[in-house]
Each structure stands twice: as structure tokens, then as C-alpha cells.
Amino acid sequence: MTNSVVNKDLKITLKGKDFLTLADFSKEELMYFIELAIELKEKQKRGIPHKLLEGKTLAMIFEKSSTRTRVSFESGMFQLGGHAMFLSKNDLQMGRGETISDTAKVLSRYVDGIMIRTFGHHIVQELADNASVPIINGLTDDYHPCQVLADLVTIYEKKGSFEGKKLAYIGDGNNMAHSLLIGCAIMGIDCTVAVPENYEVKADILQKAQERAKDTGAVIKQVYEPVLAVENADIIYTDVWTSMGWEDEMQDRLKAFAKFQVNEELVKHAKDDYLFFHCLPAHRGEEVTAGIIDGPNSVVFDEAENRLHAQKAILASLM
């Protein structure tokens, strides 16, 4: 593994940049984040100080609640020597009608970076267009790039490389599916998403991932049969069937996704040493059985831990 901290060219390239989607980065830049995350993780485990953001402040805007996003970013800033400021929609005038652009310009005078977890992707884009500090996408309805960077860190740790690996995503064509398609395409991982009809990934995002895959040779596709996706897979990934904001569709979704559960029968089609991923929170008995998520092939808590280290790499690089 190269020592990412001394890669001066990439350090210069990434400083001050926004982190809105993985598609904004090259394979080399994503590898920089991954190796830096592993390096910072090792320093934390060994008790080696890494106060790379001493005196820096991160504003964290939450229009959608979260466990992992809030705690990992707040802990990460503390470990890097900085300070994180939690701002709910009720703490900001943005929730009372102040424009996104005005909010971006004002916060840029106070803080060194802004992380936002929100609904429409246009909100983070407008923040980025008007802020003079880095904007980090903590989640939107279309993308979840911080989670997938942590997933890539976990794959790299567990499998040693990305080449020749196959990831099967089973479930809703949501923000997780979108970011996994793009992340896998860039890093050269074959990725097949299996979705029910009417719950496909967005066509333009699938096309974007397939375009990026031309550089790495990754096979990127969408199917409607879980077994086709899981066949010979190294990684099986799923997410909840009803994401935040779609609760009124829950009963319809339970019916539509009934054949898309990751269970003991489905995983027989994967490699014996497959890894099970889930971004959490999970609904045992719905999208995955307890025997799989709590079984020996599951790495969901290592994956969750790596949110901290991946985001520290993002924060340290951009801020």
C-alpha cells in the first residue's frame, strides 16, 4: 500500500473540492481516500495522534435524521482535532424560508466545511454552487457517496483488491444502488443490481456508471432476477425496502420486494467466501434474514465502523 499522505499532487487536487457524488472523482482520487482512510484507522487503533484539522469547524446540516452519519462525522472531526456543529432543519433559517444560496454564503464565513444530509440532490448542488468552503453530501435521495466510500474501504481491507470482484445489489433502485453502481464502475468491480419492476435505478445514473466502466472494464448492469445477480458474487449487498420519505408506500413495497430477500437459499448461488454488506439500519426478516446479517459472512459492523475512517479521509483531504 502506498503512503497516501505523501502524494502531494492528489493532496493539492483534492483540497477545497466538494464531495457530492463519487462520479466527481477519478479512480486514483478514490484510491487516495481509501488508502488514507486505512492509514488513519491504523493511527487511531495504535493511539497515534492525527490532529490534521486543528482549529477547523464543520457545519453538519441534518434535514434527514441519522445514527451513523452524525456520530461518525462528529467523532471524526474530534479525532482530527476539529469541531463539528450539529444543525437540524429547526436550527437554521433555511427551514423558515431563507434561500439555500444565502445559507451557503453565510455559513462559509463561519466554518471550514459543510456536510448536509437532505432530500433532493439539487439542494447539495445549490449549496456547492454558492459556498466558498467544501460541501460534503451526507446523503440525498439520489446518492449516498460517503457510505459507498466506506464500502470500498471495507472491500479493499477484506479482499485485498478490487480487480476481478463481483458485487450483487439486491433490492430497491435507490441512492445506495446509484452510488454502488458508480463506485464499482470507477474501481473496476463488476456490479449487477437486481430490482423489481417499477423500482429500477434511474436510467441516466445507470448510463453514467456504464460510461465510467469503459475505463476499467467493469460489467455494470441491471436485472430483475436476484439469482442472476448473485451468481458467483464476492459481495452481496442489500438495503431496506422502504427508505426514509417513502413510508406511505410500505405495504406496496413489501409485496413488490417479497422475492428479493437475501436469505439462505439465495446466497447459495454466491461464492462460498462471499461477504454480506448492508448500510444499516436493517429490518431483519424483511430484506435480509437474521441468519445472514448475523452470520459468519456478514461484515456489516466493520462496514459501519469504516464510515468513520472514510469520512475522516474526506474531511482531512478537502478541509
272 classed as catalytic? no
253 classed as catalytic? no
Q: Please, which residues bridge with residue 59 across strands? A: 85, 114
239 classed as catalytic? yes
Cα 150 from Cα 140, distance rounded (Å): 17
70 classed as catalytic? no
Measured distance between the N- and C-terminal CA atoms of the chain, rounded to whole angstroms: 24
Active-site residue (options: 121, 253, 278, 307):
307
Q: Does 93 show up as a binding residue in the annotation?
A: yes
Q: Does 146 show up as a binding residue in the annotation?
A: yes
Q: Does 2 show up as a binding residue in the annotation?
A: no
Cα 254 from Cα 31, distance rounded (Å): 37
Q: Does 13 show up as a binding residue in the annotation?
A: no
Q: Does 308 show up as a binding residue in the annotation?
A: no
Active-site residue (options: 147, 222, 261, 311):
147
Q: Does 175 show up as a binding residue in the annotation?
A: yes
Q: Does 244 show up as a binding residue in the annotation?
A: yes
Q: Does 279 show up as a binding residue in the annotation?
A: yes
Q: Does 66 show up as a binding residue in the annotation?
A: yes
307 classed as catalytic? yes
Active-site residue (options: 121, 144, 212, 309):
144
Print the SS3 string covering the chain. CCCHHHCHHHHHHHCCCCECCHHHCCHHHHHHHHHHHHHHHHHHHCCCCCCCCCCCEEEEEECCCCCHHHHHHHHHHHHCCCEEEEEECCCCHHHHCCCHHHHHHHHHHHCCEEEEECCCHHHHHHHHHHCCCCEEEEECCCCCHHHHHHHHHHHHHHHCCCCCCEEEEECCCCHHHHHHHHHHHHHCCEEEEECCCCCCCCHHHHHHHHHHHCCCCCCEEEECCHHHHHCCCCEEEECCCCCCCCHHHHHHHHHHCHHHCECCCHHHHCCCCCEEEECCCCCECCCECHHHHCCCCECHHHHHHHHHHHHHHHHHHHC
Cα 167 from Cα 245, distance rounded (Å): 27
Active-site residue (options: 117, 121, 253, 309):
117
Q: Are 118 and 64 in contact (CB under 8 A)?
A: yes
Active-site residue (options: 18, 142, 172, 239):
239
Q: Does 216 show up as a binding residue in the annotation?
A: no
Q: Does 243 show up as a binding residue in the annotation?
A: yes
Cα 216 from Cα 307, distance rounded (Å): 25
Q: Does 147 show up as a binding residue in the annotation?
A: yes
Q: Does 307 show up as a binding residue in the annotation?
A: yes
Annotated binding residues, as ranges? 66-69, 93, 117, 144-147, 175, 239, 243-244, 279-280, 307
Annotated binding residues for carbamoyl phosphate, as ranges? 66-69, 93, 117, 144-147, 279-280, 307
The residues annotated as belonging to the active site are 117, 144, 147, 239, 279, 307
Annotated binding residues for L-ornithine, as ranges? 175, 239, 243-244
